[in-house]
Structure 1
Amino acid sequence: MAFWPTKYDDSRRRRTPPVPTQVPAQVPARTPAETTTVSGPPRGAAEARTALRLAQLLRGTITPLRGDTVLEILEPHRPRLVPKPVNPLPALVGKPQGQMVDALLRPIGQIVTDVLLPGLRDHLIDRLVAGRTDHEDSLPGAVDLAEAMRALVGRMRGGGKGHLQAVVVAIETDARTTADTLTRDTRPIDVGGIDRLARALLRFEVRRMALEALGGSGALLTVINQSRRLARYSLRRATEAIEGFVADRGLKTLHASLATLAQADGLIVIALRNLDDQEETKEESGPFVEPADRKAMNDWLSAAWRLSDTLFDLVGKAAAGGELDDLLFAALLRQLRSLHHFCADLTHAGRPAAVDTLKQRLVDRCDALARQTGERLVEALLAKPADPALARRLLARGRLLAQLLYDMNRDEAVEELAMHLVMASEALAHNG
């Protein structure tokens, strides 16, 4: 078939086989954990302060003098093309408060909806989502600002509500993304890992309070569920770390267990969040169903109990004079100290009875270890022939054990052990 030339002859192009187009490679999106935190102070600090002050002024009794104050604080934010507002209140003295508020908002409404609320939106997103916390001590509280934003939107009868909704959506999306990213992390717990999870849970607390202030009920439910999910995950990670050392007493598992228990304050934050979740939800349980939050806590406490058995087994042999590196002995005592710190400082009305039982067990076993160490030290000095090398080893371990008892507020046990340590030290010094 012939192709007749036309004004726009495309016969040559049609006869040429099409060249396959190269599809650009898709660059995978970076997860929040991979992105760098934006440094610097949050945006809209001036607008945030003014919005909070304006909400406070509108909350009280409206007078002409207060109207002058409102216009004064808004003047720095007035756009160039917006005419300077005039205080209408002197002509309305004696009128109902609602009428005076409406009259005052009429000339300043554009400044509120076009300047203050957008700036406040950016400020809250930077602080609650982007993590810009520089100079935070000098800024108003995020929850107070959220309450002010909701109050101003209400005063404007829904004007600027889109800015409020933008903050709610940003918080909800960030909460879901943060929880997804953290709960997908399967790397072993390292130094600071538990504290990072605890800080993430504290950020969820701020999100919850901000959403309550903003009135975002749907997003609030999402954040609560994600917070519960993250708390359960954090307890499971801590449980896995200490159970690893119980099953395999190697250096790698010891490092994971040490790194976990060294962050006792972070563990307390996680446990408190879990106990709060149990109180708030009050899930029904039966003979075959255990609520997920309670199961996570029970698994952690069971693992802590088994870990204490393992630690006392190793420490007991060392306290009797067994061969054990002094650094390893000190590391084992640090884990016992952290377990006791967790049990002693976990103050919550709904704390399980197993916490008190574990705490008392730690105290009793440590007291028994102190007596055993003191008696074994005396035996080593009185043996025929004496074993000064064993006595010095027991003396060093006894001092570490005395420090543990002191940290546990076991004054009587410390005094009893200290008496043996002093006598042993003097005897070794006398015998050279």
Structure 2
Amino acid sequence: MSTTTTSTVAPATAPTTAIPTPTLLRLATAGSVDDGKSTLIGRLLHDTKSVLADQLAAVEDASRRRGWTGELADLALLTDGLRAEREQGITIDVAYRYFATADRSYVLADTPGHVQYTRNTVTGASTADVVVVLVDARNGVVEQTRRHLAVAALLRVPHVVVALNKIDLVEDPQQVHEQVASQLADVAGALPLDVPPVVPLSALRGDNVVHASESTPWYTGPTLLALLESLPAARDLRHDAFRMPVQLVIRPQHGAQDAAHVDYRGYAGLITAGAVEVGDRMVVAGSGRATTVAGIDLDRSSVQRAEAGLSVTVRLSEELDVSRGDLLAAGDVPTPRRTFSAVLCWLSEGPLRPGARVLVKHGTSTVQARVTSVRDRLDISTLEHVPAEQGELNDLVRVDLELAQALPLESYSDSREGGAFIVIDPQEATTLAAGMVDAPGRH
């Protein structure tokens, strides 16, 4: 039986064109503890004049109370908003901030650096267009650097940039820059990852973050912000094949009097890819039944067209058996599968073992599943796959899964939206893993 809700809103009679959602560059930071991620973000916010006067005054006051003696306030406090973060001295959650320049708008995620919070890094990077990996110039490339680059490669983040921070604290910054660039080239060669550009900077002093520094005359490349401004925009999902997981079915309220309410049946959800117009042909992926779009409703109005990023209600010309969890799709429609291979970023304290009973949430569907095998895990030190009988916290493991109900899965290499899923503990309802369908053997 279809999941239903009620509605008393009749579709408008004069369709209009939906205004597409604005395109943002989604930016995430990653790095080891004390590499200066929060300070870098604070510097970006400050130097792009994205901090309100009262916010800056509050941070300046907090800095003085802590004994801060720098020229400016402790800019890390602009992002370390949680009390626990301030008490422990580390960032323990994903903090989102927003800023804009004359040329681009940004959504920025500050992710934690400690190895035990790799799951938070996965969260921040999973939707990012760019990941900025910080490297402390005094330490060079460390294991956590390789881990974050592997996660970025696994998640198919379109762009990766390395910020070589604290360049003012080393004796020969040019030599350190060259050494780190060489190390990163070796790491990238072991991953499906382009060699990332390396920007030498000092987040504390502001060197090469927004403004070019006179302290690095040997560096002729762009500042970090200039590099971000120059990166091509991420793939425009509006040009992909249409996909909309059905969130709920909207039916008329009992006792509705007018014909528009009595006959209304719509399927609501977020368009995750592509665009849809009235009159388009589409398929209910689970059943394979084809139909035509009779109408599109958005915010109490009817529209002629809607694009990725919009939550809409689609009306179909035929009465089909469509319910929550079904996928409305066009183009190369994915065939539902009950068995598949995947790479999991294991996020639980408890181990992952073959035979484990879990829930798989894909789109708006949640189905029972079983882990039939654990193949291997990625050794972060060597970036090679090694045999594994189980997965541990923060492991990147290849597994095989069997579903109780077939799902229209797509390969993650083809679609970050259609190929991503999460694994849930069926008893405690906690998230156990982030998964990528059919991820290749070499991350």
Which category of TM-score, normalised to the shorter sequence, fits these structures? under 0.3
Query: Which structure: larger Rg?
Result: 1
| Higher normalized strand content (fraction of residues) | 2
**TM-score (normalizing by structure 1):** 0.20
| Greater fraction of residues in helix | 1
Asked which structure has the greater RCO (Cα within 8 Å, sep 6+), the reply is 2
With normalisation by structure 2, the TM-score equals 0.20
